[in-house]
């Protein structure tokens, strides 16, 4: 496990676990503190995959496709 821009890079095992937990699930955003153009709090979308860095690849109901970064962004499965 390493760090990139103060974000912890998960192991391959952790990435696979995130895929099991989130891929195909509906997600609601609680907070996105770092992004300069964040998704609005309360917005919902669907996680369609998890990339090699462990980010949740999202299609938001508002049409945007901004990814979520676990341990940085706060969200919940709905």
d(CA 69, CA 3): 13
CATH of the domain at 17: 2.30.30
In this prediction, residue 4 carries a pLDDT of: 53
How many other C-beta atoms lie within 10 A of the C-beta of residue 8?
15
Detail the DSSP E strand segments found in the chain. 2-4, 7-9, 26-31, 44-50, 56-60, 74-77
Return the half-sphere exposure (C-beta side, CA atoms, 13 A cut-off) of residue 4: 8
In this prediction, residue 9 carries a pLDDT of: 87
pLDDT profile of the chain (78 residues), mean per 10: 66 96 98 95 98 96 96 96
Query: For residue 67, what are the domain limits?
Result: 2-77
What is the reported pTM? Answer: 0.88
Domain count, the chain: 1
In this prediction, residue 5 carries a pLDDT of: 58
In this prediction, residue 28 carries a pLDDT of: 98
Q: Which one, of 11, 49, 52, lies nearest residue 27 by Cα?
A: 49
């Amino acid at each position: 496990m390493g760090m990139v821009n103060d974000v912890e890079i998960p192991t391959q095992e952790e990435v696979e676990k995130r895929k099991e937990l989130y891929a195909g699930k509906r997600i609601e955003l609680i907070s996105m503190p770092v992004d300069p153009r964040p998704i609005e709090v309360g917005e919902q979308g669907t996680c369609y995959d998890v990339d090699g860095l462990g980010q949740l690849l999202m299609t938001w109901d508002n049409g945007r496709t901004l990814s979520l970064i676990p341990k940085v962004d706060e969200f919940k499965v709905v």
